[in-house]
Amino acid sequence: MAAPRARGEAWVKAAAVFAFASPVLVMVGAFGSQMGLWSLAVGYDLLAMKIAWGLGFVGVVAGLAAVVLAARNPKRLGVFAAIALVVSVGSLGVFAWQKARLAGGVAEDVSSNPDDRPGFSASVLAMRGQGGPVSHVGPEACPAAQPVMAQVGPIEAGRALKAAGFTPRGVGVGRSDGDHAGFWFGVTHDAVVRIRPGRTDIRVAARDARPHGGEACRLAGKISQALQAE
């Protein structure tokens, strides 16, 4: 009798530990991608959105099993069972919310002038490769992406990029470029500020074709606000 009881206790405690597998794997994937240890395809697509997502479902099943097993000795095992269930259900809920948020965002290529989008420089295009967003939007879908109806100087445009969280990557005649690496997974968005007489336009686009919950729109809005302040 003692042996089955001991095994039951071990299973409950193991379930409590296993409940953290999904969120820990997400953090490992994010850290590795951020540090350049592996690509987004490994850290984000594989580790986070496939393996950790699957572990979330397994964790919920393990949490429910832990609750059943803990019913035999709730005073001793109740806390472990509660940890297993709460953490696993919470992790899966965050996954579901995040997936819905990402899917509901606008396209990750945003311009203040969709009919005449600013082009990226040759050096930026070389870094971007062929994996960018397949569609683009303008102010009608992203109201924050507004042009500045004035001719802003390239130096001022560079300052606006920096104020919006971008790293300036070059200033030229009638333009300023920069890129932004996100905190999670190091997802990169490129930006260009194009300067013409009487009008300054912006464009922000992710380097990959994944949905990011409208991150390009949010960043374009920050650049627009910074340019208005200049």
Gap between the terminal Cα atoms of the chain: 77
The percent of residues above 90 in pLDDT, for the chain, comes to 86
Residues 21-42, mean pLDDT to the nearest whole number: 95
CA distance 123 to 159: 20
Residues 15-37, mean pLDDT to the nearest whole number: 95
Q: Which pLDDT tens digit goes with each residue over 75-131?
A: 889 999 999 999 999 999 999 999 999 988 999 999 999 999 999 999 999 999 888
pLDDT for the residue numbered 9? 87
Over 90: is that where the pLDDT of 12 sits?
Answer: yes
pLDDT for the residue numbered 13? 92
pLDDT for the residue numbered 7? 72
Over 80: is that where the pLDDT of 42 sits?
Answer: yes
Q: Which pLDDT tens digit goes with each residue over 163-201?
A: 999 999 988 889 999 999 998 899 999 999 999 999 999
pTM of the predicted model, to two decimals?
0.87
